[in-house]
Amino acid sequence: MLIQDILRRKRDAEALDADAIHTFMRGVADGSVGDAQIGAFAMAVVLNGMNRDEAIALTEATRDSGQVLRWHDLHLDGPVLDKHSTGGVGDLVSLVLGPWIAACGGHVPMISGRGLGHTGGTLDKLEAIPGYDVTPDDARFRRLVKDVGVAIIGQTGTLAPADKRLYGVRDVTATVESLPLIVASILGKKLACGLDTLVMDVKVGNGAFMPTAEASRELAEAIVAIGSSAGTPTSVLLTDMNQPLADCAGNALEVHEALRLLRGEGRDSRLYRVTHALATEMLVQAGLATDADDAAIRLETALASGEALERFARMVHGLGGPSDLAERPAHYLAPAPCTTEVVAPRAGTVNAIDTRALGLGVVELGGGRRNAGDAIDPRVGLSHITPLGERVEAGQPLLRLHAASQTDADAVSRRLREAFTLGEPDPAVPTSLIHATLRQETSS
């Protein structure tokens, strides 16, 4: 089948069969399809869309374009499961969830990414830990998944290579915003990990990846349907991102916060509640718990016993980090040289937070990337972020800013201050944390 024929059919809004899609994606992976052809395909999909069968075939072809991990030879004593988030600000769920699930009997081969735009990246957070290797060889990765129960690493060159190339072209051809392309990119990498079950966290709100609540819901529904149809039971929680999930944002700061939760602290936080909800869904869906109540008991035991923290510590050490990070985090996670407070210009209740602006503030401080090759300063970020609904007086802190210099702090302080909308208490301020849970053929 000629690639030109495939492109012509998609250009003319014809539906492609699975063979055509697999042929095209094999060519993307092995280099026989050129960048111009990839761009033409992506633009045709953006303009003409894909039906459900095409979207499933594209996801499967992305998954099958490289190595698909198999675990049967390791004789694991529990299911292989994972979670993925569409990203946000202060979203360090993966750092807590992976070891927590491992402590409950799961095996979590978590392939994570770097920061994108205003959102923080799990790999960037972990690289704040000295020595942590996000690109281990396959043998070490598999050994940790078996023995520790969790390994959080970056995408290898052998997992879904077609996605890496297709995304690179989409990024420079204005073809990122396409639901079937987004879903295939997200699920292709995850399903290549040989999962028994997958739980997705799709964010909703002004700090979310998708621009509207409707778009987030549409993405969630597509992920559930396509992931499950591709052979991996998949469910989605729609969670709020109208404010940072944690009260901090920045790589080392978020590692500190993950350790705090794994020590059993912060149980009243939004971060804990979202992580607990995702963990519950994972345990029940994978058969590690009979229902939500049983899951809650298992999760509490794993946290209170210190087992979840131990799994995190073993993972860090197994991937080249210090063996005593949990006991001496301040020794390894250096603080920023300059700490200052951004204060409220007047009294009022926090009725809105421009979450995206806070995330971009971290990037401007050096905690994220403006360009792909930029170095990251793990020390910088924000902490003690005032939540929605809280009243502040004039001159009281809205957040604490951690910067490399006073000059850097001054450069972003005004924009960070303007990210908070103060006024009289507003009952319309969104308060729900879990908007919905979507499962195959059911939603709540």
Which amino acids are annotated catalytic?
A: 82-85, 122, 170, 185, 189-190
The residue among 396, 358, 377 whose CA lies nearest residue 246 is 358
Straight-line distance from the first to the last Cα atom of the chain, in angstroms, rounded to the nearest whole number: 44
Q: How far apart are CA 437 and CA 150, in angstroms?
A: 25
**Residue that the structure tokens 């994108």 belong to:** 116
The sign of the torsion formed by the CA atoms of 204, 102, 315, 196 equals: negative
**Residue that the structure tokens 């800013």 belong to:** 401
Backbone φ and ψ of 356, nearest 5°:
-60, -40
For 297, the token pair is 């008991």
Question: Mapping DSSP to helix (H, G, I), strand (E, B) and coil, where does residue 389 land?
Answer: coil
CB 61 within 8 A of CB 21: yes
Per DSSP, helices labelled H in 201-287 are 213-229, 251-262, 270-285
Q: With both helix axes pointing from N to C terminus, report the angle between 213-229 and 179-191 in degrees, rounded to the nearest 10.
A: 50
Q: How far apart are CA 124 and CA 362, in angstroms?
A: 13
Per DSSP, helices labelled H in 12-160 are 18-30, 35-48, 52-63, 93-102, 122-126, 138-147
Q: How far apart are CA 88 and CA 90, in angstroms?
A: 7
CB count within 10 Å of CB 140 equals: 15
Which value, to the nearest 10 degrees, does the dihedral of the CA atoms of residues 382, 388, 392, 396 take? 0
Cα–chain-centroid distance for residue 431?
A: 22
Q: How far apart are CA 284 and CA 256, in angstroms?
A: 29
Backbone φ and ψ of 353, nearest 5°:
-130, 130
Cα–chain-centroid distance for residue 127?
A: 15
